C-alpha cells in the first residue's frame, strides 16, 4: 500500500475495524496470521523497495489518480504471508484482508504484486470469500494478451500465488479476444482444482501429477466468474497441457494449452471450435418481427425503458454480479439479424460501447468478444443477467421462447 508518510494506524487496529464486515474464516485467519511468524507487515521508505512499473500497472487498469498517489508516496506498507500449498490459500486471503484494512484506514490503495494490479480497498474486500466460502477466480487470476504475426498470445497472471505455473496459449485468432480469455480462466479453474485435490490431506505429497489433457466446461468458466448456475449444460472441450520450460533462468516457465495430439488443421481453428462449443447457448436471432404483433409490443416495451436502465447502469444501481446486455439489429438481405452485446460504457445517450455476445451471420467482423459500437436507435431489447439468468428485461426473447406476449 503506497502511503504519504507513516500510516496512522497499525495493521492490528485496522483489521479489528473489519469485525462484522468480513466473513469467517477469513477475519479470524487474518488476525491469527498477524500474530504468527507466517505473516509480516513491513513499512519502509519507497526507495528501499523495487520500483513498481507504472507502464505495466497502467496496462492492468491503473487510473491516473492511482498512479499519481503512487508517485507521491513516501512509504510502502508491504504485507507478506506464507502457508502450505493447497486449498484454502490462507496466506493470500489473510494478506489481502490485512492490506485492504490498512489501505481503507488511511484512504489508500492496494497493489497486488502478483497481478500488478491496483485494487481499491472495497474491491479487495469484495474479492475475499463470502459467508459460504465462495470466491471468484477472476479476482485472483488475470488473463492478459498481446498480438503478433501468429495471432494472439494469452497468458494467465496469478496462478503462481497458488503454487502453479502460469498458463499460456499462442496463435489464437484475433476475433476470439474475449471468448478465449474466458476459456483460459475456465482452464485455470480446472487446473487449480486438480492441483488442490492432489494436495488434499494432512500430508503434503512430494509430487502432484497433473493431467496431460484438461477438460474444460462451460461450468468451469461460470464458476470462475462467480456465476455457477450459468453455462452448465455446454459440451466439454479438451486442451492438451504441455510444459514450456524457460531457457532464461530469470524468465517464466509456462504450461501451454494446445489442441489434442492428432488434431488436423491449424491450432486457431480448434480454438475457434472450442469457443463455439463452450458458448453455444448464446445464439443470434435472425427472425423478423412484423409490425403490430407481440414482438412489436415487446420492442416498444423495451425501448420505453432505455432511459431508465441507462441511468441505473451509469449510477451503479444494478444488482451486484449482474450484466446489462442489449439486443440490436444488423442489416441483412433477408431482414435484420438481431444479436446481443454486453454493455461496457454508455456515456452518450445515443451510443453504447460493448462486446458482442455472439457471432453474427451477416457481419464477419462481429464475433464473440469483439468490441462493438451500438446506436441506441438500433436497440430492440435489453436485459439484466444475473446468476440464474435474465432477472429483468428480455421481452423479445420471451416472445421467441414462449410464443406469447411478454408482461411489461
- In angstroms, rounded to a whole number, what is the distance separating the alpha carbons of residues 90 and 135? 13
Q: How far is CA 95 from CA 41, 140, 159, 182, 301, in A?
A: 9, 13, 16, 27, 49
Do residues 166 and 156 lie in contact, with contact meaning Cβ atoms separated by under 8 Å?
A: yes
The region that residue 345 occupies, defined by phi over 0 for left and psi between -120 and 50 for alpha, beta otherwise, is beta
DSSP 8-state secondary structure symbol assigned to residue 376: G
pLDDT of 125 reads 93
pLDDT of 59 reads 84
Do residues 145 and 155 lie in contact, with contact meaning Cβ atoms separated by under 8 Å?
A: yes
In tens digits, the chain (408 residues) has pLDDT values of 999 999 989 999 999 999 989 888 899 999 999 999 999 999 999 999 988 888 889 888 889 999 999 999 999 999 999 998 888 899 999 999 999 999 999 999 999 998 889 999 999 999 999 888 888 899 999 998 888 778 899 999 999 999 899 999 999 988 888 889 989 999 999 999 999 988 887 787 888 888 899 888 888 888 888 776 554 456 788 999 999 998 888 788 999 999 998 888 889 989 988 888 887 644 444 333 333 467 778 888 999 999 999 999 999 899 887 889 899 988 766 667 888 888 989 988 889 988 887 777 777 778 777 788 898 988 999 998 876 678 899 888 777 765 433 333
pLDDT of 302 reads 92
Do residues 7 and 102 lie in contact, with contact meaning Cβ atoms separated by under 8 Å?
A: yes
pLDDT of 16 reads 93
pLDDT of 244 reads 93
pLDDT of 228 reads 65
Would you say the pTM of this structure is higher than 0.85? no
Using CB atoms within 10 A of its CB, is residue 367 exposed (0-12), middle (13-18) or buried (19+)? buried
pLDDT of 401 reads 63
Do residues 177 and 145 lie in contact, with contact meaning Cβ atoms separated by under 8 Å?
A: yes
Amino acid at each position: 500500500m503506497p502511503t504519504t508518510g507513516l500510516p496512522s494506524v497499525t495493521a492490528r487496529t485496522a483489521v479489528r475495524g473489519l469485525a462484522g464486515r468480513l466473513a469467517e474464516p477469513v477475519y479470524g485467519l487474518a488476525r491469527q496470521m498477524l500474530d504468527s511468524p507466517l505473516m509480516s507487515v513491513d513499512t519502509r521508505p519507497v526507495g528501499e523497495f523495487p520500483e513498481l512499473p507504472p507502464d505495466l500497472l497502467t496496462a492492468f487498469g491503473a487510473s491516473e489518480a492511482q498512479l499519481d498517489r503512487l508517485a507521491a508516496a513516501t512509504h510502502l506498507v508491504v504485507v507478506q504471508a506464507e502457508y502450505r500449498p493447497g486449498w484454502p490459500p490462507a496466506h493470500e486471503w489473510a494478506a489481502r484482508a490485512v492490506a485492504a484494512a490498512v489501505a481503507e484506514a488511511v484512504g489508500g490503495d492496494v497493489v497486488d504484486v502478483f497481478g500488478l494490479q491496483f485494487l481499491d480497498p472495497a474491491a479487495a474486500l469484495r474479492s475475499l470469500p463470502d459467508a459460504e466460502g465462495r470466491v471468484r477466480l477472476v479476482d485472483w487470476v488475470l488473463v492478459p494478451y498481446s498480438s503478433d504475426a501468429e495471432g494472439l498470445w494469452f497468458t494467465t497472471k496469478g496462478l503462481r500465488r497458488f503454487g502453479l505455473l502460469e498458463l499460456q496459449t499462442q496463435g489464437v485468432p484475433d476475433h476470439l479476444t474475449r471468448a478465449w480469455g474466458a476459456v483460459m480462466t475456465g482452464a485455470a479453474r480446472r487446473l487449480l482444482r486438480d492441483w488442490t485435490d492432489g494436495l488434499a490431506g494432512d500430508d503434503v505429497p512430494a509430487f502432484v501429477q497433473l493431467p496431460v489433457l484438461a477438460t474444460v466446461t462451460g461450468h468451469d468458466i461460470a464458476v470462475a466468474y462467480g456465476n455457477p448456475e450459468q453455462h452448465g449444460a455446454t459440451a466439454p472441450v479438451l486442451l492438451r497441457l504441455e510444459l514450456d520450460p524457460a531457457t532464461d533462468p530469470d524468465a517464466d516457465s509456462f504450461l501451454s494449452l494446445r489442441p489434442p495430439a492428432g488434431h488436423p488443421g491449424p491450432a486457431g481453428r480448434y480454438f475457434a471450435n472450442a469457443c463455439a462449443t463452450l458458448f453455444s447457448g448464446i445464439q443470434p436471432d435472425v427472425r423478423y418481427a412484423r409490425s403490430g404483433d407481440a414482438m412489436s409490443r415487446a420492442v416498444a416495451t423495451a425501448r420505453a425503458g432505455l432511459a431508465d436502465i441507462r441511468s441505473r447502469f451509469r449510477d451503479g444501481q444494478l444488482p451486484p454480479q449482474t450484466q446489462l446486455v442489449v439486443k440490436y439489429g444488423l442489416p441483412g438481405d433477408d431482414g435484420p439479424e438481431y444479436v446481443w452485446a454486453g454493455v461496457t460504457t454508455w456515456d452518450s445517450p445515443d451510443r453504447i460501447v460493448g462486446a458482442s455476445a455472439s457471432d453474427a451471420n451477416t457481419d464477419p467482423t462481429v464475433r464473440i468478444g469483439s468490441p462493438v459500437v451500438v446506436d441506441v436507435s438500433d436497440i430492440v431489447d435489453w436485459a439484466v443477467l444475473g446468476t440464474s439468468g435474465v432477472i429483468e428485461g428480455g421481452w423479445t426473447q420471451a416472445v421467441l421462447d414462449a410464443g406469447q406476449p411478454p408482461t411489461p
